[in-house]
Chains A and B, each alone.
Chain A
Amino acid sequence: MARSRKKYSSGQTWQAYIFNSPLILITLIFVFLPVAGTLITGFFRNVTFMPNKFIFLENFYRLFGDVHFWQSVRFTLLFVFVSVGLELVLGMMFALILNEAFPGRGLMRVAILIPWAIPVAISARIWQLMYNFDFGVINYIVIHLGFVSSPVNWLGSPVGAFFSIVISDIWKTTPFITIILLAGLSLIPDELYKQAMIDGTNFIQRFYYITIPLLRPVIVVALLFRTIDAIRIFDLIYVLTGGGPGGSTSSISLYAFKYYITGDFGYGSAISIVVFILASALAVLYIKFGNFAGELK
């Protein structure tokens, strides 16, 4: 890096700054300012119908003793871990299948994108109707197949609600991972596989020694996007369970939203800052350990 910096004259550096200035400006206005604004709001007792008061870190202290906040942190991290993990495995499987030549492949590639193209609020509502206790199709199927005798209240227990959310999220966002991995797969030269086959390798060896290493930067990008997305999860849960039963499926964002909507902007902002810090920390970890800058040369 230091080597490349030396190459530019000061005039060139200035030129680079000028050309980059729109991007820097946009980042400042739309990323830096809102984050700074949220942080400042977090230092106040900013509650509708009450006078504003500077309380510095009190909102953040309050977070430590707030059991519901920690419950939502636990839920969110568990959700990220389980759903992103399963999505990666499934997405990889679909990508490998769709990378093979078979009749109707083009159609399949389009079809798999449909869940990703449906707005989250709508797909969450569809899943909610499917999980419905009275007339949901899932209860209809399990009863008619004889697995259970009376309808199951899928969204009624913490565990049931958790997996209902995970399943809906997997259905919705696996296509995203599939498409990114598929793009990565199509960049791997076919000759490598052919050569390896001549050397007498089997499918698993080729997958581990060719596909995975060459796909790694793409996997890291897919994971990065999905993890940051999942840690901020809001809309799916808002529609599907509203955080219930009894707040057991409340994500951190949903928890922050509850304070915003009930008028406590200070505490809501403090919670949002935690989401921001978590997402940034994970992004830094991915970029550091993903090491894809090295692989991409």
Chain B
Amino acid sequence: MKARIILILTVLLISISGIHCSKSEKDFTIWIGGAPEEVDFWAKLVSEFNKQTGYNLQLIRQPTYTDQRRQELVISLEAKQPDPDMFLMDVVWINQFIKSNWLEPLDKYVTKSNFNTDVFFQKVLNSVDRYRNKLYALPVFMDVGLLYYRKDLLNKFGYNGPPKTWSELVNESLKIQKAERKDDPNFYGYVWQGAQYEGLVCNFLEFIASNGDSIMKDGKIDLNTPQNEKALQLMTDLIHKYKISPLNTYTEMKEEETRRAFQRGDALFERNWTYAWNLAQDNDSPVKGKIGLTVLPHFDDNQSVSTLGGWHIGISRFSDEKEKAWKFIQFVSSYEVQKSLVLNVGWNPARKDVYNDKEVIAKLPTVKILYDALQHTAARPTLPYYSQVSDVIQRYVNDCLAGKINPKEALEKMQKEEDELVKIYGTK
């Protein structure tokens, strides 16, 4: 009996001293999720950083899905936990986190370490990372919506380059789709993301922005305009009038569905994020070497606009290792690391200067187009209740694509519900 008590006490003592030890080492953490291969790459970066600095930064793996990643962060931050010290944020979260007072302003660190923020795209920095003249986050990599096209088919039918306007896209699609259908009954002119989810808001924003409009004007949600009606009419017409987009656009089409259709060779044009390029160039891809990439089309007398995506890094206000965390942010923002991001995982660097790197241009001839697209981006609304706003847009745009209501009606109902949301959530 005595022996047993001593044994238990020993075990307890060892475990307590173990807890003590790990605390005195002062590790700090960064939380990152995403596709497994992406997180693996981050693990490599973190161990490289630890080797260089002698710090003990720990990578905590998060889920793949964006919503779940946010949920995890929200729980820890709401409880004011010292962990995570740093994390990656999707563009639409940053404002929500700032308003909740969860992010450490970075200006103090920027000045102290003579960090040059001019190397980043200023438009992105100003629209996403800055709030009331304070800097809260820095971009790590960027994403934009782009137009993928089949070079071989355009050449075959005598077109010199990709379409610049939506009407050109429609005409070329109609002609080529008709001819190609003889061999491939599943061939479609244009595939894009029309299912009821966040991606639909990104697509909708690109259509309306390429007609010179936006979701928010002067801090107010303003959707019911003639420009937006024209844009939404075009989205519906692509499916029902011209029939160049498949009927399942509004039920099934998300990023991967459109990518698969295009990569199978079943589509002439595709709207997708930048990730689809590397996959389409795989050795077993039927469209390898036959495709091109350009900015999205626009309405006559307007310009192309891409929805801004991508991930940004910030420091938690509750972190107990802010200085060290800033060191890691500097490391991630360095020219070398940004360059290795694009060369190894195909992410578009947040630094402008990397786009002129000879090695990068040699490996990815498309970076020039990305650089152009990044000059004209549209950001989704920055509101603490953005998710609810997005949900309303998704529902009515999708209803309209399904042909249940006409664009005018959809925009009217959307506006009415958005106004109600502002009434419910807009008051403190």
> Restricting to B333-390, which residues have a CB under 8 Å from any CB of A?
384-385, 387-388, 390
Pair B248/A153 contact, Cβ less than 8 Å: yes
**Are B387 and A51 touching (Cβ within 8 A)?**
no
Q: B390, B402, B428 — which one has the most chain A CB atoms within 10 A of its CB?
A: B402
B29 at the interface (CB under 8 A from A): no
Taking the nearest CB of chain A, how far is it from the CB of B45, in angstroms?
Answer: 29
Is there a chain B Cβ closer than 8 Å to A263's Cβ?
yes
Asked whether B388 lies within 8 Å of A264 as measured between CB atoms, the reply is yes
Nearest Cβ on chain B to A132's Cβ, whole angstroms: 7
B261 at the interface (CB under 8 A from A): yes
Contact A261 B67 (CB under 8 A): yes
With A155-B251, A156-B248, A246-B402 known to touch, is A134 a contact of B384 (CB < 8 Å)? no
If A242-B195, A262-B391 touch, whether A49 touches B251 (CB-CB below 8 Å) is no
Closest to A245 in B: B402
Interface residue? B99 (CB, 8 A): yes
A186 in contact (CB, < 8 A): no
Partner of B404, one of A132, A245, A264: A245
Which of B78, B99, B388 has the most chain A CB atoms inside 10 A of its CB? B388
Instruction: Tell me if A50 is interfacial: C-beta within 8 Å of chain B.
Output: yes
Query: Closest Cβ of chain B: how far from A49's Cβ, in Å?
Result: 4
Question: Looking at chain A's contact residues, is the secondary structure mostly helix, strand, loop, or mixed?
Answer: loop
**Complexed CA–CA distance, A133 and B266 (Å):** 14
A49 and B99 contact, CB distance less than 8 A: yes
- Complex Cα–Cα for A230 and B404 (A): 27
B residues near A49, Cβ cutoff 8 Å: 96-97, 99-100, 384-385
> Could you tell me which residues of chain A, from 179 to 214, have a CB within 8 Å of some CB in chain B?
none
List residues of chain A with CB within 8 A of the CB of B384: 47-50
Interface check B177, CB cutoff 8 A: no
Given A50-B425, A156-B248, is A262 in contact with B402 using a C-beta cutoff of 8 Å? Answer: no
A115 adjacent to chain B (CB < 8 Å): no
Beyond A47-B425, A62-B424, A134-B186, whether A243 also contacts B196 by CB under 8 A is: yes
State how many angstroms separate the Cβ of A149 from the closest Cβ of chain B: 11
Does B250 have its Cβ within 8 Å of any Cβ on chain A?
yes
Interface centre among A155, A244, A247, A258 (most CB of B within 10 A): A244
Q: Interface digits, A225-262 against B, CB 8 Å rule (1 contact, 0 not)?
A: 00000000000000001111111000000000010011
The 5 closest A-B pairs by CB, nearest first: A246-B399, A262-B387, A133-B248, A49-B384, A153-B247
A–B Cβ pairs within 8 angstroms, 7 of them? A45-B424, A158-B404, A244-B251, A246-B396, A247-B196, A263-B74, A264-B385
